[in-house]
Chain A
Amino acid sequence: MIIELLTNPRAFFSTICKQEPSLKIPALIILVMALVGSITGYMMGELSGKLFSGMMEGLATIAAVSAAISTFFSSFIIWLVAAVILFGLQKVMQGTGTFKRVMEICGYGMVPLVFATIITLLLSGYYIPQADISPIRSTNPEEISKAAMSMMLDPALHEFSIISTIITIIFLIWVANIWSIGVEACCGLPAKKALIVAGLPVLIYIAYTLASLLLFTGGAA
């Protein structure tokens, strides 16, 4: 089923469209993505917590667990937000898909992001141990801000940020491709309009991500 989604999405969505919309499998896909992503979130949170570990005992663990939980739930929120945007755009383009159908397409279309999160997890296992984070022992807000910025400028984390962003962008293009085929097949839109509905939010997201990366890391490594 998933193989067909990736290799022949048009046939896959043609079959899906004939059935009642169901969110069980898409939710399962998002759950896997959320679980894998939360592991990466835990590692990053632990690293950030080290920065403040000098101020309070166990802060690193608290930060790690908080990051893992927020990453887990943010996967579902992203799914919901993407579905809302796609639903709105396909309505603007006079599509016929219901919100549940669009959410189903959106969920199926995020399968490539599961691969992206797995690759990101592997990369985080390689880069995060290289990060040189010294705990802050001052309570001066200025020094804390400086230390947080220096964490982002750490060579290992800098490289990791750029590579994970590139990987996410690559897989988002794949996601946009699946979404456009799904919208075309299930929402009664021509190929061009379906491409705009799926591609526009992804393009905006890619532009936003690249801008954020340049802003926080000061450019390429």
Chain B
Amino acid sequence: MRTGAIITLLFVSLLLVSINTAELLPENEAAAAQIQVINLSIDPAVLMPYDTATVTITLANTGTKSVAISSAQMLSKEFKVLSDSYRKVGAIGAGNTMSFTYTLQAGGATGIFYPIFSVDFRDANFLRYPFRVLVQDNPLEVSVLNKPETFVSGKKEDLTIHVGNPRDNQVTGVTVIPQAGEHEITPTSYFSGVLAPDSSVDIPFSVTPYGDSPIEFIVQYQNGINQHEVSYTLPVETGKKSRKQADTVLSNVQVDTKKDYYRVTGDVTNSGLETANAVVITSAEPAVPVFPFKVYAVGALKPDDFASFEVTFRADGNVTEVPLRTSFKDNDGNEFASDTLVELGEGTGPKPKQDEEGFSPVIIGVLVVIALGVIGAIWYSRRPRG
């Protein structure tokens, strides 16, 4: 029994010695030395944390003898190798090339890393090839250009989203998607495509706000096969008056009292910095607009222009103030209105409508007196005198 064990141990030892002496043959070493990496590509060229990349390494046999490869594998502490190692690769013939593709996934760390591509030759040594992989955590930059100073509910405004690529590699499939919510935004999304390193793109949007909820612009893009997105939130606050918006001011207002209605004349001036289109003036409750000037259409008023207006309305005797409603439209057709109170004064109301049938008795009396006086004068002038 003991003798058998010793024989077996000697046999194994001899086998191992024979194998070692067989792998490290000088001619195999010389042939393996002709294997070199001729190409390395990483897609994407620069990763972001947790991105997945494909690495393709091409080996070429520049020698005159075929070289057998036992296995090829990717080694890295910082990257997770998602693809399998190459086992039982075979041989690379003289003058041939062979490519090896691996899928790597970056970790959360950023920086420059050096994974190792290792090739194990049969009957020869190894090939170890460390290569550089850059991981950057700098997403696309989003900002807003040409934003209106204020938003007015229902008024269409133009704004521009500016998307820049601060990365060292290009990104693809750049798409900006605004989250409209209660607002109206056109276009509903904008596809920009490839964005080269250190370049930017301006994307126009038209926003018609209907409330104060903010607008989120989501920028989606791809780094290689990895989908990323970055967002920009644009605050919207309606109700604030624009500094440039047209503004109508009524002045030189005069109230005349007619028989059964009021007549208000005056000037309307555009004190804003934009054109007021379709300016219309009328009276509002408690007044009741009446002809001839129920509504007075002024038309367009450029900044600092003014025009005369005239409106007619009825109001109860106890009404002392009446609002004059001035409305206009901006260049997008949005309508704005403002009220200006006009004092009617007390006790100056329209006189009750007189009976228009026939003259007043006083006038008739005066006419009769005049007629009788003239008849008397004629009679007196013609009477016979002695």
Which residue in B292, B370, B381 is a CB contact (below 8 Å) of A170? B370
Which bracket fits the contact residues of A? Answer: 20 to 34
B51 at the A/B interface (Cβ < 8 Å)? no
Known contacts A54-B308, A181-B381, A221 near B370 by CB under 8 Å: no
Q: Given A11-B385, A112-B377, 9 more contacts at CB 8 Å?
A: A7-B377, A8-B385, A119-B370, A134-B292, A134-B310, A137-B310, A166-B367, A181-B382, A221-B356
Beta-carbon contact of B367 and A8 below 8 Å: no
Q: What are 22 pairs between A and B in contact, CB < 8 Å? A: A7-B377, A8-B381, A10-B381, A10-B385, A11-B385, A54-B308, A112-B374, A135-B310, A137-B310, A155-B354, A155-B356, A159-B363, A162-B359, A163-B359, A167-B367, A173-B378, A177-B381, A177-B382, A178-B381, A181-B381, A220-B358, A221-B359
CA distance A10 to B363 in the complex (A): 33
Which bracket fits the contact residues of B? Answer: 20 to 34
Which residues in window 22-54 of A have CB below 8 A to B? 54
Contact A134 B293 (CB under 8 A): yes
B147 within 8 A of A: no
How close is A116's CB to chain B, nearest CB, in angstroms?
Answer: 9
A213 close to B (CB within 8 Å): no
Is chain B's interface secondary structure helix, strand, loop, or mixed overall? mixed
Interface residue? A171 (CB, 8 A): yes
**Is B65 engaged at the interface, CB distance under 8 Å to the other chain?**
no
Within 8 A of B (CB), among A152-187: 155, 159, 162-163, 166-167, 170-171, 173-174, 177-178, 181
Task: For the complex, give the distance between the alpha carbons of A174 and B370 in Å.
Answer: 11
Question: With the chains together, A8 CA to B292 CA distance in Å?
Answer: 55
* Any A CB within 8 A of the CB of B259: yes
Q: Does A97 contact B (CB under 8 A)?
A: no
B258:A132 contact, CB within 8 angstroms? yes
Give the residue of B263, B308, B310, B363 whose beta carbon is less than 8 angstroms from that of A163.
Answer: B363
- A interface residue numbers (CB < 8 A to B): 6-11, 54, 112, 119, 130, 132, 134-135, 137, 155, 159, 162-163, 166-167, 170-171, 173-174, 177-178, 181, 220-221
Which of B's residues lie within 8 Å of A, judged by CB? 258-259, 263, 292-293, 308, 310, 354, 356-359, 363, 367, 370-371, 374, 377-378, 380-382, 385
* B292: A residues at CB distance < 8 A: 134
Is A221 a contact partner of B358 (Cβ separation < 8 A)? yes
* Residues of B with C-beta under 8 A to A178: 381
B107 to chain A, nearest CB (A): 79
- The residue of chain B having its C-beta at the shortest distance from the C-beta of A163 within the complex is B363
Distance to closest chain A CB from B265 (angstroms): 8
- Find the B residue at minimum CB distance from A220: B358
CA distance A170 to B378 in the complex (A): 11
8 Å CB contact of A134 from B259, B263, B374: B263
Name the B residues within 8 Å of A171 (CB-CB): 374
Say yes or no: B371 contacts A6, CB within 8 Å: no
Q: In angstroms, how far is the closest chain B Cβ from the Cβ of A111?
A: 11
Report the nearest A residue to B381, measured CB to CB: A9
- For residue A159, which residues in chain B have a CB less than 8 angstroms away from its CB? 359, 363
CA distance A64 to B370 in the complex (A): 29
Per the bound structure, the CA–CA distance linking A155 and B354 in Å amounts to 10
- CB-CB < 8 A to A137: which residues of B? 308, 310
Q: Which of B258, B259, B377 has the most CB of A within 10 A?
A: B377
Q: Is the CB of B367 within 8 A of A6?
A: no
CB distance from B349 to the nearest CB of A (A): 15
Q: Measured between C-beta atoms, what is the minimum distance from B312 to chain A in Å?
A: 8
Which residues of chain A are near B308, meaning CB under 8 Å?
54, 137
Complexed CA–CA distance, A9 and B370 (Å) = 20
Question: Complex Cα distance A220/B359, Å?
Answer: 9
B-chain residues with CB within 8 Å of residue A177 when the two chains form the complex = 378, 381-382
Q: Hey, which chain A residues are within 8 Å of B358, CB to CB?
A: 220-221
A219 to chain B, nearest CB (A): 12
State how many angstroms separate the Cβ of A122 from the closest Cβ of chain B. Answer: 10
* Cβ contact within 8 Å between B374 and A173: yes
In the bound assembly, the distance between CA atoms of A174 and B356 in angstroms comes to: 31
Question: Taking CB as reference atom, which chain B residue is nearest A166?
Answer: B367
Going nearest first, the 8 A-B pairs with the smallest beta carbon separation are A177-B378, A174-B374, A170-B374, A9-B381, A132-B258, A170-B371, A155-B356, A170-B370
